[in-house]
Structure formats: structure tokens, C-alpha cells
Structure 1
């Protein structure tokens, strides 16, 4: 059970805050996934949407690892309306359950890392994009790739949001908290984005990338041109409630794991999602439906480095009894 949680915690989260906790009930062979409010990125994510998406990604990893280990993860989202921190329950049942195809994604759990490096100017095959869209659909979300004027609009919104973030004191505080102000992490650090994962300083190109260094110089950091024709993907849900955020997180991670197996690197373009007035225009006004929950940058390029993770003993509690819900 500790090994399953170890795999679950490889999931991405906003600023690598890792806002999750797990409780395993031996008597019911059931996991509870709970949010950790102490690890909320409060100014950037005041409503907890990104927190739920990160926890949904960890839930997806837990399901994949469980199937790989021979279990069927019977999953319920928000099983107790009285307990808002209880995000999901996962009961491990006997072999032979449906959904076993996600077990094939297991090798990607430890290979998937956010890459903030330039990607190649190489088209992604339509068959690969279709497979990624199918993966999102299987988790109750949609994945579309903007082109033409819509892509230009998404890029402009990301640029506007990045400019706002640079001058917003509250968001700068969030960034400083989770990057240590650009100072290299101590060996004991277990969260946040360390300096070696910032990627190079952007000299040019249209690819939207967040500069985690802010106005703090990082010794030895290189600079590079990014792609002029970035490949972006919008992940959306029909509604915009906590259960939809959890579904979006699962869909996002399923897409990213499959993309990793397909040889793609990935990063996140969350800047416009963090401003209410910029998030809604991300939709395609002609064909877009629902609510954009995540913008992914995909491409062929160097994989990102592994970033710190909290040890399992800090995020997993084990009880002998059965859960109440």
C-alpha cells in the first residue's frame, strides 16, 4: 500500500505544492484521498481549483498503480458531503474489474516530469493527438488543440497573465514560497520547484512558459530560444464544480502519462487560468463548450528533471478498521 502511494505522489501539482494526504483502512482495503489545506497556494488558487486538479492527478496515478499491481480500484469522488477535505475513496477489489487498460500507463508514472525546455518545431501526428483526446474523454473531459486565430488568442492571454503575475505582489509571494526565491533547495527539501527545474531563460519564441526565477538571478542558468509554433492542448469539463476539477486532474494525468509513452514532453500553461477574466476567453467561442481547466504544452524535446517529493511517511496514515464512508 505504501508503494501505491509512492507512485501516486509522483503527480504534478501547482508549484509542486503536493496538497494531498492518504489514509488507508486495512479492514476495508480502502484509501481515502484528502486535501491538505496547509499546502494550498492561496493567492494564486483562492478557490482550490488547482488544488483539486493536483489531487485528481495523484488519484489517477493511484488507480494506475493499483491496476498494475493486480487490483481493481473502485473509486468514488467526494463520498461525504459533510467532509469537504475528503476528495475520493478508492476500494481495492478483486482482480478482473473493468478499466484494466490504464495499467499499461504505469511505466510512465516515474518518467513523466514537467519540461520547461524548448521543444522541437515538429508536428505531433494526428493519431497521437486523437489518442490523447480519447484518454481525456475516458475520464469525463475533452481535449482540443487550438489552431489559427484561436491559438494566437490563447498565447496572447497567457502573455497577458504572465505580465500581470510579475507585478502582482500576492502571486509573487506564492512564487517565492514555493521556489525559495530562486535559492537552491537544501538536500532535505521535499516540495516546490527547485532552481534546476526552472528551465532556461526565454530569449524569444512564442511558447508560453512561466519564469519561476522572477527577478532573482540564478547562477549558471542558461538562456534559449523557444518554439515559434508551440503545440497547446486545452482540457475542459462540462461544469466547473469540485468534482469536475477532480475529473480534470485525472484526465490531465492520463493524457500526460500516455503522452510520455508516446515520446512527448510536456509542461503547463496555467497563467491565464489563474485570472477569472482571462480564463473564460480561452474557450473557442465558435465551438468551445464547458470550462477550460488546464492548458498543456506538448512537444518533442528534452525530458524535465525529477523534482522533490514528500516521503510516503509524511502523506500516508494507516488504520486497522474500516472507513465510515
Structure 2
């Protein structure tokens, strides 16, 4: 998925160089980016909307879900009667290098589906989602019900994949229970790894996977193509991974392109992942009952509930999907987790840490069919 790669904090040396100082400033994108980010992530009204306006608002909440490289690989169709919304994959936005079987695409659809159903409930509609294997689409039927503004709905505009260091402190048993409940279903199993030995074992697979991916020129090019090195580029495209969301400075794109080649190294990235895993409270591994598109959607829904519950508790999370993205690593990683013969779907670290700038979203008009 829902892959979230950091550019690298090592670019900080560029800020101090005359070349960088002559090419960027704090105003290079701050005003435009901040204004668009505020509109994108705002909480909307929960009363006074109906018909197409309500449908568009539900779609807006759905688009605040995560997606691989923030490609926003979805399209939405509003039923003229207001009784359903269909979510289809937008395969023009797939990432074939990191996601050759479109696993992350359908997990992303599940994340959007969960946001939509949470928003629908807050607006007095009960959403029932069903995956149609003939069209590879999720149809959410909407029926009137008593409105409920749940903590998960309130968390939607606050949720982010926080790709920074956490504080290293453990979570309480009550918090872990709430996360376990939110992220599990009868079709999806959630493993919460909080023992340091288990986390170090997972880190070893993350490092192996990251090293393999960084040796793949197609993977590196695909990742770089989705990085937005400054706020102006983030606002222009409204997609991709905004570099500042990983704690990096705003720099002109041409400098970013050069810096990426210089500082995006296996050692630098592996050291970063080691530091970040060791600063986390734990690692969550999501496992669908079956390795097919329908269950990948279910995994996405469970992950999004987990992420929203975490957000409601002030807990951050970020993906560590290398062990499940590198096909050769999946079987031994599964075996190490006691999941021989199964396919782990998502690997996510969690803990408390600061908020970072957000990657943006395209307007509703861009995703409606």
C-alpha cells in the first residue's frame, strides 16, 4: 500500500549550501500548501447536506484514506438516487514496480470504503459494502439510520501516516486492546508485536526487503516519480508523497532530483528504519483470510479502523511493507510469524510522536466518474 517511503533526512545538508539557499525559501510553497492542506483536511458539516452534495462530501472523506505512494488509485460513482456509491480501482495510477499484482490498490480501496462508511454514519446513513469480483468494484449501499458521530469519524481529518521517529514508550494494555479490536474481523487477523525480540526480527526482514528494493532501478524510479520535493509541486499535482511529510526541507525539484540520487542509499535508509522501529511502541501485521482482491479490501478496512482508532488515542502509525512487497521474502517472513502458508498483507509500526505535514489529495471532481 500503501507504501510510504521517506526521501531521506540526509537532505538537510542541502539547506545550508549556497546552491540550496539561492533556490528555495520558507515562502517557496508555504502559503499555497498550507491553505490547500487546511481545506483538504478540514472537518465538514454533519447536518444540512442531502442529495449530490451529501454524496460529494462522503467521497471527500473517502479520499482522505491512504494509498500506495499517495497515488489515490480510486474512482467514485454516485448513484442518482443517493442510495449507493461505487468505488472502482483507477489502474492508471497503479505502481507496477512495488505492487505488481495490485494488492495495494485493493487495500487502498478498502481504506477508502471504511472512511466512507464512517462518514455516512455521521451523516445519518448506514453503509453496507460489498465487493463485486466481476467489476473489481466496491458498492456501498446507503440506508437511513440514526446519525452517530463516532471517535473514528472524528479522527478521519486528523489521521496521517507519520513517517518520523516516535517516543519509544510502550502503550497501555487498554490501548492495545482497542487497537486489536479495531483492526480485526472475522476475515482479517491482526498480530500486535510489542516484544523487542519480535520487533527486531521484523526489522531484519524490513532491512532485507529495503535493500532488495533499492537495488531495483524500476522501484527507485517509480518512487522518485511520486515524490513532491516542495509545496508548490504538491499543490500542483495534489498527489504523491510530499517530501516535508518525512521531515525534509522544501527544495526545488531539480535539486531534489539530484539529492535523491546522492543520499537515497541502502545504508542511510536501513539505518533510518532501524532507528524508527526501535522508537516505536510496536508493530502491527495484518493477515487476510485468503489472498484475493475481496480480502485485500477487507484488510484495507481493518487497517483503516486501526489507524483511526490509533489517531483517536493520539497514536501515530506508518507502513513498513518491504517484507510483504518483496515476493521472495513473504514466505520466510510469514513462517517467522507462525503464518506458514499465509500471506501477510500489511506491516505497520505504531507509537506516539509528532504530527508532520500532510501529503495532499485531489479534489472530489478529479475522482468522480
TM-score range, shorter chain: 0.7 to 0.9
The separation in 2 between residues aligned to 1:188 and 1:139, in whole angstroms, is: 42
C-alpha displacement of 1:199: 2.9
Partner residue of 2:97? 43
For structure 1, list consecutive stretches of 5 or more residues without a partner in the other structure: 202-212, 318-325
Partner-residue secondary structure (3-state), 1:188:
helix
Equivalences for 1:238-277 in 2 at 5 Å?
Answer: 238-277=289-328
What's the TM-score, normalizing by structure 2? 0.74
What's the TM-score, normalizing by structure 1? 0.83
Partner residue of 1:161? 209
C-alpha displacement of 1:90: 0.7
- Residue 31 to residue 234, structure 1, CA distance change in 2 (3 Å): same
C-alpha displacement of 1:52: 0.5
Contact 2:213 2:326 in 1 (8 A): no
Please state which structure has a larger fraction of its residues in helix: 2
Partner residue of 1:120? 167
Whether 1:83 aligns to 2:130 is: no
Pick the aligned partner of 2:70 from 6, 10, 16.
16
Cα RMSD after superposing both structures: 2.4
Pick the aligned partner of 2:220 from 159, 168, 172.
172
Contact 2:203 2:277 in 1 (8 A): no
Partner residue of 1:300? 352
The separation in 1 between residues aligned to 2:323 and 2:185, in whole angstroms, is: 26
C-alpha displacement of 1:165: 1.6
Partner residue of 1:152? 200
C-alpha displacement of 1:152: 2.3
- Residue 258 to residue 101, structure 1, CA distance change in 2 (3 Å): farther
Contact 2:160 2:358 in 1 (8 A): yes
The separation in 2 between residues aligned to 1:196 and 1:165, in whole angstroms, is: 22
Deviation larger for 280-289 or 102-111 = 280-289
Q: C-alpha deviations, 1:180-233, integer Å up to 9, x for none? A: 5x46652322100011112369xxxxxxxxxxx743569xxxx98646353211
Whether 1:131 aligns to 2:169 is: no
Aligned length: 294
Partner residue of 2:244? 196
The separation in 2 between residues aligned to 1:54 and 1:304, in whole angstroms, is: 21
Q: C-alpha deviations, 1:233-284, integer Å up to 9, x for none? A: 1111121111110000000000000000011011111112111111233335
Contact 2:166 2:279 in 1 (8 A): no
Partner residue of 1:141? 188
For structure 2, list consecutive stretches of 5 or more residues without a partner in the other structure: 1-54, 250-258, 265-270
Pick the aligned partner of 1:282 from 333, 347, 363.
333
The separation in 2 between residues aligned to 1:92 and 1:248, in whole angstroms, is: 22
The separation in 1 between residues aligned to 2:230 and 2:261, in whole angstroms, is: 12
Partner-residue secondary structure (3-state), 1:51:
helix
Contact 1:114 1:305 in 2 (8 A): no
The separation in 2 between residues aligned to 1:36 and 1:111, in whole angstroms, is: 25
- Residue 101 to residue 241, structure 1, CA distance change in 2 (3 Å): farther
Contact 1:116 1:200 in 2 (8 A): no
Equivalences for 1:55-66 in 2 at 5 Å?
Answer: 55-66=109-120
